Structure 1
Amino acid sequence: MSTSVQAPARVPVPVPLRPWVAGAEILSYPAAGHRPIVHLPDGAAALTYCKGRLVVTGPRTRAGYVPAKEVRQAVRIRLRPGHALPVLGVPLSALTDQAIGLDELWGPSGHRLAEELRGLGPGPEPVLRRLRGALLDRADGQRTGELDNAALVYAAARRLGTARPHALPEIARELGVSERHLRTLFTRGTGLNPRLYGRIARVRRALATVTGADGARAAGEAGYYDQSHMGAEFRALMGVSPSAYRAGRLPEPRPCGTPPNA
């Protein structure tokens, strides 16, 4: 997701993986000299393979702008909110605004997987097939309790991520749990508190309409009270106003791995 990345080539997610994976895609990055690559705020974790590295990126609370790099491709598998925890094996709250090697989470098995990927043939398709197989292996045999918690978190995330989100107490009542319990599960399972998750969902919707001329209409469709509300929240998460973003006046790019709040 970036202003200088070609439209991702989305690839099918096998049926057994759909409860765990929100989507899989091949990203093509442009040559140096283009505008910075923009990593959008994101309420989901992802597994990315690029230039021989297999990296887990946690939820991102603010946009990151990094210098355009040489032409290359990356494979990314975006995990469903709530379902990343059982697959990755750690609370997502430990991964917020972080990018770490999978071997740090999976140990020797993560290291072996990265080695296997580096030994595959050219092109992203073999990498995708092997990654999907590895995730299926991790998904199999998960404990019932963890799966139940993942389902609760995902159900809450879907309600919080709409243009007209439900309040957390209402969601908790619908799901048959206490608000305190749901908040704890949600933060552990997504790495974000419910309010911040909703803010990120709104700004991602705003990005789909920010190029339009009618700012008030775009604000309403994205779920904001008004255009002023959208502008303030957009600036807080994207680092620039909607008009500046639309015009390409972006923050100074910073190297990959720089914390978004630094």
Structure 2
Amino acid sequence: MLTVDPVTTLSRPALVVTADLVEATVPAPESLRPWLTELGRIPTIRDPAGSFAHVPQAATTIVLRRQESAPRAAFVIGPQTRARYYQPDKPAACLRLRLAPGAVRPLLGVPASALTDRVVRLTDLPGIAAGLAGELNELDADEIFAFLKDQLPQRISEDATRRAQRDILRSAVAALSARPDGRSMTALARELAVSERQLRNLFTAGIGVSPKHFARIGRVRRILSQVRAGTPVGGGEHEPPDATSLAQLAADNGYFDQSHMTADFRTLMGVPPRSFLRGAVPTPSPCRPLDRI
């Protein structure tokens, strides 16, 4: 059962509420793992205390929006290389189906790179998932996995080459995700018995970002998770972290030094860590318009 109480989810006062912070997730069943990793639910949040942020995400997501007094709709959010800050004009809840590495083309009919930093209607895409949009919009969260277990295996057809490429990509993603200090692309390619060029091409088509950018996004997301989980950040409850704690976060996550971490964080989040943690972020905008394919 997917349920979440956004008040109890917030482990510490937060001036910037992130989508990840209020999302309840369940992993996809084993039979769906080739194509999906998890299903998340973001409840309707009324009057957030500050900005609502979507942090960078190196995955493609099918979003089923449940907005009050409006028809349900299905969108696809591609990999997001920069944080975006919003002030929603209308309360809305949503379900998020996160696609597995290499599953974008089989499900959506385009390479992941065609969706990077874009938001499009699911029905505008040529893949098989577009034909399921109507049914998905009508289902409750607890019904979605059962529906997809019945539908996807009979609709997706992959040859041995495509499955082998997907397996390589999943292994590369697991290796990069497990090492906060990063991995040498040369060593990783050798370990996976592919060339560096082939590895980069697999990431571009199957993930939508390069291996290097995938690792950068992973490290910044890890820092945010550590702070939310209660990793000491120095100062008082509402104060920014001190230099010692930032230096420790940098060391724990494989950065050369604190300035390296700060530069990476600023590039992806739009502001340095101190500013983000005290709520000093870019001016939020209304929900972004849809892109066209």
Query: What is the TM-score with the length of structure 1 in the denominator?
Result: 0.86
Distance 1:114 1:231 in 2: 41
1:114 corresponds to 2:133? yes
**Aligned 8 A contact 2:89 2:286 in 1:** no
**Which range is displaced more, 218-227 or 65-74?**
65-74
1:9 corresponds to 2:24? yes
> How does 1:1-262 map onto structure 2 within 5 Å?
3-5=17-19, 7-51=22-66, 52-106=72-126, 110=129, 112-120=131-139, 123-127=140-144, 129-131=146-148, 133-138=150-155, 140-161=156-177, 162-210=179-227, 212-213=233-234, 214-257=245-288
Name the SS of the counterpart of 1:106 in structure 2.
coil
- Identity among equivalent positions (%) equals 36
* TM-superposed deviation, 1:250: 1.7
Distance 1:112 1:258 in 2: 23
Q: 1:130 to 1:66 in 2, by over 3 A?
A: farther
Name the SS of the counterpart of 2:22 in structure 1.
coil
Q: 1:155 to 1:215 in 2, by over 3 A?
A: same
Q: 1:254 to 1:131 in 2, by over 3 A?
A: farther
Q: In the alignment, residue 190 of structure 1 is paired with which amino acid?
A: I
C-alpha distance after superposition, 1:8-39 (max 9, x if no partner): 22224222012322221111141135322211
Q: 1:70 to 1:189 in 2, by over 3 A?
A: same
Q: Structure 2 unaligned segments of length 5 or more: list them.
A: 1-15, 67-71, 235-244
Distance 2:129 2:100 in 1: 20
Q: 1:11 to 1:136 in 2, by over 3 A?
A: farther
Distance 1:135 1:63 in 2: 32
Q: Structure 1 unaligned segments of length 5 or more: list them.
A: none
Query: What is the TM-score with the length of structure 2 in the denominator?
Result: 0.78
* TM-superposed deviation, 1:112: 4.6
CA RMSD of aligned residues (A): 2.4
C-alpha distance after superposition, 1:209-233 (max 9, x if no partner): 3462211111122221111111111
Q: In the alignment, residue 204 of structure 2 is paired with which amino acid?
A: T
Q: 1:133 to 1:106 in 2, by over 3 A?
A: farther
Name the SS of the counterpart of 1:3 in structure 2.
strand
Aligned residues: 254
